[in-house]
A and B are shown apart, each in its own frame.
Chain A
Amino acid sequence: MKLKRLWTSKPLKASYDAIMIGGGIHGLATAYFLAKDHGINNVAVIERRFVGYGGSSRNTAIVRANQRSQSNVKFYDEGLRLWPKLIDDLDFNMMFHNCGNLNTAHSESALSASRLSVSTAQFCGVQSELLDRKQCKELIPALNMSWDITHPVFGGMYHPPGGVLRHDGVTWGLARGADKHGVHIHQLTEVLKINTSQGKVTGVVTNRGEITSPKVMICAGGYGNSIAYKLGIRLPVHPLTIQAMVTQPLKPLLNHVISSGAYHVYANQTLKGEIATGAHMDPWPNYTTNTTAHYFRHQAEALTELLPCFKGVKFMRHWAGLADMSPDMAPIMEGNYPIEGLYLDVGWGYFGFKSGPITGKYMAEYVAKAKRPEILEAFSLKRFENFRPTGETAGAYIYGPWN
């Protein structure tokens, strides 16, 4: 059998209509939609390492639309509904498994917070419901219902349309789709400098030479700050290392994604049977992507207290990636500000995977028409200096590495 490459290697041209810095889900999706929906296929995706090597393959592949504020819920809901269509369009099996998400509440106040989120979701027409303790146990029989644990279960928020995908499949599918439409994917190509002239972007300097382009988008996930700062632009984003791990494969016992804010754990059983679990972020900004024994131990303790049947199960792999946390836990999608021709797609925190294709769709529209799509109104960079955060967190600008 002759193996066929998913995408081809093309020569680096001296000029493109648009350049995506970052060959992850966001960059590939934007390039794909630019070519497919807007007829702009003279596009380059520039990747410092390999396609999907960063956050795109280091996440836990969970998708959901049960955020707190309406602007977020509407955006992620559209993203959630895009997956089946994208899988058809790309003709690539991304193993979408919409098994539903249960977010457990471990106090009366957490239950009240869940009640607010459920109301927001239902108001926006998104399926989400409040469960009591007993219903949580029915949904996930392995759940520890004892009152004599650190954080007893009080109830939960169940969001049936959520689920998991195969994140490598998403990257490969998008890369193949973009390539088919004529997009150039350049791996091992690092952007050293973004050129500007008279307040306009004119191109980039890479380790393989200079490229001119009137439009440059920064979609490098956790590395967004470091690229924007090459232009002297500071972003309200902390790059934080976030860790995850998988256990040995087990027989099916966890049929939903479960997440717990109090235990700081989320877990789901992959189609291979492994329990993929994670959540810890380093409480200080860094680009290390180091895993730590400190967290390995914490994760084992928290997971086995919430789901005691995992005691004695072995972890197989442990890895880390970068999350670009913004102070209001909502993304920043900005165009032509502060420099004309510069597009920012940063601050995703741990929402980068679930939002990939839908962001690509709307950022492609933004780049093609140079006009902000209405659904992205809430996510401007200017909201911070105007003191209009999205309302995803209770207070303004509280979210930092320290909490």
Chain B
Amino acid sequence: MSYIITCPICGKRDLYEFRFGNEDRGPAPKQERLTQEKYVQQVIMHAAVVGPQKEWWCHSSGCGTWFTTFRDTTTGRETDENGTVK
């Protein structure tokens, strides 16, 4: 079984060409009044959603582009935001 996701430049490629860049947590918190707790929440705390999850990926063994996409964590398949397999 192989996993495939879509790079915006190179198209559909084997997931092993990509580096996982964590789940998407929105923009980074502002530097002013940044607490350790907020920082840690942004950097290492994971929801690890069961089902489709918005994630950052880098095509590290290809064009090097960073992009976001949805992936169903229970099947490993790339999906759209509603969970429909692409």
Residues in A neighbouring B20, C-beta threshold 8 A? 283-285, 400-402
Closest residue on chain A to residue B36 by CB atoms:
A385
Q: Are A286 and B74 in contact (CB under 8 A)?
A: yes
A284-B20, A288-B74 known; A237-B48 Cβ under 8 A: yes
Residues in B neighbouring A402, C-beta threshold 8 A? 19-20
A226-B50, A385-B36 known; A288-B45 Cβ under 8 A: no
Question: Which residues 314-370 of A have a CB within 8 angstroms of B?
Answer: 327
CB of B44 within 8 Å of the partner chain? yes
Q: Are B76 and A236 in contact (CB under 8 A)?
A: no
A387 contacts which of B36, B45, B47, B73 (Cβ < 8 Å)? Answer: B36
Question: Which residues 29-73 of B have a CB within 8 angstroms of A?
Answer: 36-37, 39-41, 43-50, 71, 73
> What is the CB-to-nearest-CB distance from B54 to chain A, in angstroms, rounded to a whole number?
13
User: How many A-B contacts if CB must be within 8 Å?
Assistant: 71
Residues in A neighbouring B43, C-beta threshold 8 A? 397
Q: How many A residues, CB 8 Å from partner? A: 28
A386 contacts which of B2, B36, B46, B76 (Cβ < 8 Å)? Answer: B36
Q: Are B74 and A287 in contact (CB under 8 A)?
A: yes
CB of A294 within 8 Å of the partner chain? yes
A385 contacts which of B19, B40, B50, B76 (Cβ < 8 Å)? Answer: B40
CB of B28 within 8 Å of the partner chain? no
Residues in A neighbouring B50, C-beta threshold 8 A? 226, 287
Q: Are A288 and B75 in contact (CB under 8 A)?
A: yes
CB of B4 within 8 Å of the partner chain? no
Residues in A neighbouring B46, C-beta threshold 8 A? 225, 234-238, 285
Residues in B neighbouring A7, C-beta threshold 8 A? none
> What is the CB-to-nearest-CB distance from B59 to chain A, in angstroms, rounded to a whole number?
14
Question: Which residues 373-392 of A have a CB within 8 angstroms of B?
Answer: 384-387
CB of B10 within 8 Å of the partner chain? no
CB of A290 within 8 Å of the partner chain? yes
> What is the CB-to-nearest-CB distance from A128 to chain B, in angstroms, rounded to a whole number?
31
Residues in B neighbouring A286, C-beta threshold 8 A? 73-74, 76
Interface residues of A (CB under 8 A from B): 225-226, 229, 234-239, 283-288, 290, 292-294, 327, 384-387, 397, 400-402
Q: Could you jot down 24 A-B contacts, CB within 8 Å?
A: A225-B46, A225-B48, A226-B48, A229-B49, A234-B47, A236-B40, A236-B45, A238-B46, A283-B16, A285-B20, A285-B46, A286-B73, A286-B74, A290-B1, A293-B1, A293-B2, A294-B16, A327-B44, A384-B40, A385-B39, A387-B36, A397-B44, A400-B22, A401-B20
